Amino acid sequence: MRISHLFAAFAAMAFLSAPAKAEEASRAPITIVIHGGAGALAPGRYTPEEEAAYKAKLLEAVNAGYAVLEKGGRSIDAVEAAIVVMEDSPLFNAGKGAVFTRNGRNELDASIMDGKTVNAGAVAGVSHVKNPIKLARAVMDESPHVMFARDGAEKFAREHGLQMVSRRYFRTERRWKEYKEALKADKEKKGASLPYAYDWKFGTVGAVALDRDGNIAAGTSTGGMTLKRYGRVGDSPIIGAGAFADNRSCAVSSTGWGEYFMRLVIARDICAQVEYAHKSVKEAADDVIHHRLPDLGGDGGVIVLDPHGNYTFAFNTSGMFRAVRQEGAEPQVAIYEEK
Ligand code: ASP
C-alpha cells in the first residue's frame, strides 16, 4: 500500500471511530442506586459492628448490580442481581429476615419494572419462594399478566422452576423477637393497632438502574410490615406505588408505610411530575416525600433515577440504608440522614 493510501485508510478509520467516541462521551453514565429500607435509624441505634455489617452488605449488593451494567448488561438484570443479594441477607426485611405477620408468618411481596418496555411483574403474599424478585421477573417475562398472589403465585413459581424453600427458611431470631415485642406492645394498647408507629425500622429493599443502552428499571422486595394482618398487601408489589420505571421519565423504588404510598401512588406521581411538569428527580421526590406524604401522616423514602443518570435519595425518616455506584465515581454507602 502506498503511503498516501495508508494515510487515507487511517483517516477513514479515525473518521469511523469518531462518532462512536462522541456517542460514548454523550452517553449517560451507567448507574445503580439501592436502598435497604427507611425508618427510625438515628445514630446510636446500631453498634459499630452492626453498622459495618449493613454497609458491607449494601456495598456487595450495589457492586453486584454494577457488575451487570459494567459488562454491558441490562438495567433490569442489574436491579434483580442487587435485590437478590439483599433478599438472601438476614439483615433486611426481604427474603430471609422478613418480618412476621400478626399470625407469626412471613408473607413476601415484590415487583419489578422495565423502563424500556414499560412491562412489569409483581407477586404478593408468597411464603415459600426463596427470591420473590425472581418470581416477579418471571411473571413479567413469562406470563401475559402483571401480578400473581399467594397460592397462585407459588404455583406459577413451581411451574417456572424457581427455588422453593420451607417457611422456616425465612425465620430469624431477631425478627421473631421483634414480633413478640410488637405483639406485646400491641396488646397493651388494647387493640389500637398501629404496629407501624412502633420503633421498628423498615427494611424493605429496592434498586433502580441505568444501563449502557440508556434503559432504566426498578424493583422492590419486602416482607411488609410487622404485625400486618391476614392477607394485607402493601405498596411494594403495587406498580406505581412501590416501584415504577418508564424511560420517558424515571425509575423509582419506595420504602415506608405502604398504605400511604398506595394512596398517593408515590412512584408514579414522582415520575409524572418529571414527565409532565418537567421537574428534576430531586424536585419531584422532595415534593412527594417532604410534603404530600407527611401531610397525610405517612413516612418513608424513595430512590429515583432518570435516563440521564440523575439520581436522588429522599426520605422523611431519620435514616435510610442506601448506596449508589455511578460510572466514573467510587461507590457510596450511607445509613443516617446527612446533616
Ligand atoms: N412499604 C412496605 C410495606 O408497607 C414496608 C417497608 O417499606 O418497609 O409493606
Tell me the best of 108, 235, 317, 322 to mutate to test the pocket of ligand 1, counting ligand atoms within 8 Å of each CB and taking the most: 235
Q: Tell me which residue has its CA closest to atom 4 in ligand 1.
A: 258
Output Rg (C-alpha) for the chain, integer angstroms.
21
The predicted-structure confidence for 26-85, as pLDDT tens digits, reads as follows 899 999 999 999 988 888 888 999 999 999 999 999 999 999 999 999 999 999 999 999
The answer for residues whose C-beta is within 8 angstroms of residue 157's C-beta and 6 or more apart is: 126, 128, 129, 135, 138, 164
- Say yes or no to pLDDT of 13 above 50: no
Q: Strands (DSSP E) along 196-331, which ranges?
A: 205-210, 216-222, 243-245, 251-256, 300-305, 311-315, 319-326
The set of protein residues with a Cβ atom below 6 angstroms from ligand 1 is 37, 93, 202-204, 222, 224-225, 234-236, 255-256, 258
Grid coordinates of 242? 412501590
Q: Tell me which residue has its CA closest to atom 9 in ligand 1.
A: 224
Q: For residue 262, how far is its CA from the centre of ligand 1 (angstroms)?
A: 10
- Which listed residue (204, 220, 222, 312) is catalytic? 204
Grid coordinates of 17? 471511530
Q: Which atom of ligand 1 is nearest to the CA of 93?
A: 8
The predicted-structure confidence for 100-116, as pLDDT tens digits, reads as follows 999 999 999 999 999 99
- Say yes or no to pLDDT of 16 above 50: no
Tell me the pLDDT of the chain averaged across its residues.
91
Name the band, by pLDDT with cuts 50, 70 and 90, for residue 8. Answer: very low
Give the Cβ contact number of residue 335 at 10 Å: 21
Tell me the best of 109, 198, 222, 253 to mutate to test the pocket of ligand 1, counting ligand atoms within 8 Å of each CB and taking the most: 222
- Contact at 8 Å (CB) between 133 and 264? no
Burial of 44 from C-beta contacts in 10 A (0-12 / 13-18 / 19+) = exposed
Q: What is the DSSP letter of 167?
A: G
- Say yes or no to pLDDT of 18 above 50: no
Task: Give the CA dihedral 9, 10, 13, 17, nearest 10 degrees.
Answer: -170
- Say yes or no to pLDDT of 206 above 60: yes
Q: How do beta strands 205-210 and 311-315 pair?
A: unpaired
- Say yes or no to pLDDT of 325 above 80: yes
Q: For residue 71, how far is its CA from the centre of ligand 1 (angstroms)?
A: 32
Domain ranges of the chain: 26-336
CA distance 227 to 100: 6
- Contact at 8 Å (CB) between 252 and 303? yes
Dihedral of alpha carbons 120, 217, 97, 285, sign: negative
H or E element at residue 32: strand 31-39
Question: In the prediction, which pLDDT does 25 show?
Answer: 62
Tell me the best of 175, 236, 239, 264 to mutate to test the pocket of ligand 1, counting ligand atoms within 8 Å of each CB and taking the most: 236
Residue 204 known to be catalytic: yes
The predicted-structure confidence for 236-293, as pLDDT tens digits, reads as follows 999 999 999 999 999 999 999 999 999 999 999 999 999 999 999 999 999 999 999 9
Q: Which atom of ligand 1 is nearest to the CA of 261?
A: 1
- Contact at 8 Å (CB) between 164 and 128? yes
Question: In the prediction, which pLDDT does 133 show?
Answer: 99
Q: What is the CATH number of domain 26-336?
A: 3.60.20.30
- Contact at 8 Å (CB) between 259 and 244? no
Average pLDDT value for residue range 4-11 = 45
The answer for residues whose C-beta is within 8 angstroms of residue 177's C-beta and 6 or more apart is: none
CA-CA distances (angstroms) from residue 235 to 62, 86, 262, 283?
Answer: 23, 19, 5, 22
Q: For residue 300, how far is its CA from the centre of ligand 1 (angstroms)?
A: 8
Q: Which atom of ligand 1 is nearest to the CA of 202?
A: 8
The answer for residues whose C-beta is within 8 angstroms of residue 5's C-beta and 6 or more apart is: none
Q: For residue 257, how far is its CA from the centre of ligand 1 (angstroms)?
A: 5
Grid coordinates of 260? 400511604
CA distance 155 to 202: 29
Q: For residue 314, how far is its CA from the centre of ligand 1 (angstroms)?
A: 15
The predicted-structure confidence for 119-177, as pLDDT tens digits, reads as follows 999 999 999 999 999 999 999 999 999 999 999 999 999 999 999 999 999 999 999 99
CA distance 4 to 272: 57
Question: In the prediction, which pLDDT does 22 show?
Answer: 52
Q: For residue 202, how far is its CA from the centre of ligand 1 (angstroms)?
A: 7
C-alpha closest to that of 268 among 108, 117, 118, 80: 118
Question: In the prediction, which pLDDT does 193 show?
Answer: 52
